[in-house]
Amino acid sequence: MTKLSVNVNKFATLRNSRGGNMPDVLQAVKDCEQFGANGITVHPRPDERHIRYRDVRDIRPIITTEFNIEGNPIPSFIDLVLETKPDQVTLVPDAHDAITSNAGWNTLRFGRELKEWVALFKKAGIRTSIFVDPDPEMVSAAAKTGTDRVELYTEAYAKMYSLNPEKAIEPYIKAAQTAMSCSLGLNAGHDLNLENIAYFRRNIPGLLEVSIGHALICESIYLGLENTIQMYLRHLSDF
């Protein structure tokens, strides 16, 4: 099956809106894993408006599944990743003032820098993934950096899915096929939800992992966290 990594940023956003420690992000991590999540994702940003660097340090020792840290490889982020040594680091080119990730890397333009970052993390024993748009050219260029995986940015798919799922999925199939031909592992994430995840999973060859946060947390308000995670796992399973 495709693995589910739950992004817990939104728990931290809610906590930070009132101060204190409600909800408890560490307990949320434990609960997500207990309810079946195959991994935990965090995306610390410099302004720490949701997950804080301290959260990352506190979460690392309690992880029992896989830990994925994603973000823009600025110096402080690089230091944090090398200190905490997650299972995977996902490099995302988001600006410091971006509300959320809004584009993949131009792996042609930033190929040299990405190659250096990938080598640095891999030397530390950390699996690497590069966030890219569903563009075969960008996927091919990502492979030249030495990265282990790419993560397909799925916002465009999510926006078009309800109008024309076949057209929405088409560029992602081509990008996935390119990844396979380049011997790259394949992840995906951004705006995937219970409505569109099953179709995406069925049609994307070699999909190893999806990272889902915002939609999953929103859906869990109505459906319950355990039930929502279990629903995602069923959509991601062969059975």
- Answer yes or no: is pLDDT of 99 > 60: no
Q: What is the pLDDT of residue 195?
A: 98
Considering the candidates 43, 66, 219, 235, report the single residue annotated as catalytic. 43
Q: What is the pLDDT of residue 94?
A: 80
Considering the candidates 70, 151, 209, 219, report the single residue annotated as catalytic. 70
Note if 190 is an active site residue. Answer: yes
Q: Read off the pLDDT band of 103 (50, 70, 90).
A: confident
C-alpha angle 55-61-66 in degrees, rounded to nearest 5 = 90
Average confidence score pLDDT of the chain:
96
Cβ atoms within 10 Å of 191's Cβ, excluding its own: 17
Among 87, 96, 100, which Cα is nearest to 41's? 87
Considering the candidates 66, 151, 190, 209, report the single residue annotated as catalytic. 190
What domains, with CATH codes, occur in the chain?
A: 3-235 (3.20.20.70)
Note if 113 is an active site residue. Answer: no
Note if 66 is an active site residue. Answer: no
Cβ atoms within 10 Å of 47's Cβ, excluding its own: 9
* pLDDT tens column, 54-69: 999 999 999 999 999 9
Interval 151-165 mean pLDDT: 97
pTM across the whole model: 0.95
Is the Cβ–Cβ distance between 142 and 113 less than 8 Å? no
Q: Where are the beta strands (DSSP E) in 127-182?
A: 127-132, 149-153
Tell me the torsion sign for CA atoms 51, 55, 57, 61: negative
* pLDDT tens column, 174-232: 999 999 999 999 999 999 999 999 999 999 999 999 999 999 999 999 999 999 999 99
CA distances from 105 to 12, 125, 204 (A): 26, 23, 21
Bridge partner residues of 153 (DSSP): 189
Decide: helix, strand or coil at residue 188.
strand
Q: What is the pLDDT of residue 26?
A: 98
Backbone torsions φ then ψ of 171, nearest 5 degrees? -65, -25
DSSP 168-179: HHHHHHHHHHHH
* pLDDT tens column, 108-128: 999 999 999 999 999 999 999
Please state, in angstroms and rounded to a whole number, the distance separating the CA atoms of residues 80 and 16. Answer: 21
